[in-house]
């Protein structure tokens, strides 16, 4: 089972919508930003926003080593 949904939330209002396609979530963020001037964010699956790339790596691997603070992946992301 692949968990690819994205939840769009906005810190400036009560916006919270879940999309099955990332493109849809992305366009929702863009339209909300244009309409309201807010800065909505999204979460991919159980991941926090802004860590999509690292999340992809960890998702593929899934080993405990990937979540180690000393891992090259995390260090590279700083
Ligand atoms: Zn908003």
Query: Cα(55) to centroid of ligand 1, in Å?
Result: 25
Q: Both 54 and 38 in a single domain? A: no
Residues 73 and 42 in one domain: no
Asked if residue 72 and residue 57 are part of one domain, the reply reads: yes
Residues 30 and 9 in one domain: yes
Task: Say if residue 59's pLDDT is above 90.
Answer: no
Better pLDDT: 35 or 77:
35
Q: How far is the CA of 54 from the centre of ligand 1 (A)?
A: 27
CB contact at 8 A, 11 and 42: no
Asked if residue 41 and residue 61 are part of one domain, the reply reads: no
Q: 29 or 63, which is more confident?
A: 29
Distance between Cα 7 and ligand 1 center (Å):
14
pLDDT of residue 51: 52
Q: Which of 36, 34, 28, 37 is nearest to 9 (CA)?
A: 28
Supply the range of the domain harboring residue 77.
50-78
- Average pLDDT rounded to a whole number, residues 23-40: 97
Q: How far apart are the CA of 2 and the centre of ligand 1, in A?
A: 29
Beta bridge partner(s), residue 9:
16, 41
User: Does pLDDT of 39 surpass 60?
Assistant: yes
Instruction: Verify that 5 and 25 share a domain, yes or no.
Output: yes
pLDDT of residue 44: 84
The residue ranking higher by pLDDT, 4 or 5, is 5
């Amino acid at each position: 089972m692949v968990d690819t949904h994205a939840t769009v939330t906005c810190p400036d209002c009560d916006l919270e919508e879940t999309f099955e396609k990332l493109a849809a979530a992305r366009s929702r963020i863009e339209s909300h930003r244009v309409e309201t001037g807010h800065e909505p964010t999204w979460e991919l699956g159980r991941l926090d926003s802004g860590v999509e790339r690292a999340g992809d790596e960890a998702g593929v691997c899934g080993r405990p080593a990937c979540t180690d603070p000393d891992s090259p992946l995390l260090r590279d992301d700083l």
